[in-house]
Amino acid sequence: MVFESDRPFILEKMQDFVTDQLPEEVFRAKGFMWFEKNTSRYIFQLSGKRYTMDTDQWPDAPKNQLVFIGRNIDTAQLQQLLKNCLAP
Query: What three-state secondary structure class fits 81?
Result: helix
Residue 49 lies in a domain: yes
Give the integer Cα–Cα distance in Å for 52 and 5: 20
Residue 16 lies in a domain: yes
Residue 21 lies in a domain: yes
Asked if 70 contacts 28 with a C-beta cutoff of 8 angstroms, the reply is: yes
Instruction: CATH number of the domain at 71, please.
Output: 3.30.1220.10
Q: How many domains does the chain have?
A: 1
Residue 69 lies in a domain: yes
Q: Phi/psi of residue 80, each to 5°?
A: -65, -40
Asked if 64 contacts 40 with a C-beta cutoff of 8 angstroms, the reply is: no
Residue 88 lies in a domain: no
Question: Cα–Cα distances in Å, from 8 out to 24, 54, 74?
Answer: 25, 17, 23
Question: What Rg do the C-alpha atoms of the chain give, in angstroms?
Answer: 12
Residue 66 reports pLDDT greater than 90: yes
**Tens digit of pLDDT for each residue in 12-63?**
999 999 999 999 999 999 999 999 999 999 999 999 989 999 999 999 999 9
Boundaries of domain holding 73 = 2-83
